[in-house]
Amino acid sequence: MKKAFLIFLCPFLYSQNYQVKDSLKVLAMSKFKLMKVFENKNGRFDPVRNYSYDQNKNEITIQNVSEKNKEWIKTIIRLDNAYNIKEEEKIIEGMMISEKENILVKKQVSMVTKYSYNSNNTVDIKNYNSQGSFSGKEFIALDEGNRINESIRLFNISDDIVVTQIEKYNWIDDRNYHYEKLTFNAPKSKVIGIYTLNVYGERAFFKGSITLNDEKQIINTPFENKLKKFDTKGNFIKLYTLVNGKENIIEERKIIY
């Protein structure tokens, strides 16, 4: 029962916040032209994503070239003058009902996320569905060190906006923070504990508790220690673990400048 509980709760523990992206800002500032990402599949490196950068438009296109997640076609990241993400357009393909024929047809649609960076150290993240209608929002408050203090998620339903999730960060230092997460939509949950970050600013260890549907579980778990190798421009080009002192490569990136 405990194992099943933990498997179900993995997204609650391992998910990263919006600041831990794919180093897109560093990539764009390095003026890269193309990046190909390969994943290790039983000793064989298979292509999974291609990145290309249009300097004139200041946008990065991420193309899915893997044999999995075929419903995802590509994502277009549009950046502002400071290389922060201002818009993210995800294009997917799936079976949908045609309004004209009232039958299932294969169709590509796009979902858009827009980011607004405000002068009072807050970030507004708005989501729009495939019809272009507003579907939800995340409000983020930052401290003076640009670290998240609080995140509130809201969902738009039947012309009403409801709060679905609240996260609170109480920073102990740059590598540790007290964390509280309340999820109000099903399944209702509560996460309380302390996160420790690795040198990359990603979650590396959690100690605390999770309550799901009135069932409380004490958690004390490290996450997989994945290491990164960077090139001279600051872009990471290898993701790996150490097994008995030897590199076990998980992902490799080949970048053309």
Is pLDDT of 5 > 50? no
- In terms of pLDDT, which residue wins out, 257 or 214? 257
What span, in angstroms and rounded, lies between the C-alpha atoms of 189 and 139?
20
Q: Which amino acid is at 45?
A: F
> In whole angstroms, what is the distance from residue 58 CA to residue 24 CA?
11
Count of C-beta atoms within a 10 Å radius of residue 127: 19
In a domain, 191, yes or no: yes
Average pLDDT in the 118-134 region?
92
> Mean per-residue pLDDT for 26-35?
96
Alpha-carbon distance of 74 to 130, in angstroms, equals: 15
Q: What is the mean pLDDT of residues 26-36?
A: 96
Domain assignment present for residue 102? The answer is no
How many residues does this entry show for the chain?
A: 257
Given a contact cutoff of 8 angstroms between Cβ atoms, the answer to whether 243 and 224 are in contact is no
Answer yes or no: is pLDDT of 157 > 70.
yes
Is 73 within a domain?
no
pLDDT category at 70 given cuts 50, 70, 90 is confident
**Residues spanned by the domain of 188:** 1-19+114-223
Could you tell me if residue 147 is inside a domain?
yes
Residue 12 has what pLDDT? Answer: 53
Judge whether 47 lies within some domain: no
> What is the model's pTM?
0.87
What is the mean pLDDT of the segment spanning 82-101? 86
Q: Is residue 195 part of a domain?
A: yes
Structural domains in the chain (count): 1
pLDDT at residue 13 tops 70: no
* CA angle (179 as vertex; 176, 182 as ends), nearest 5: 165
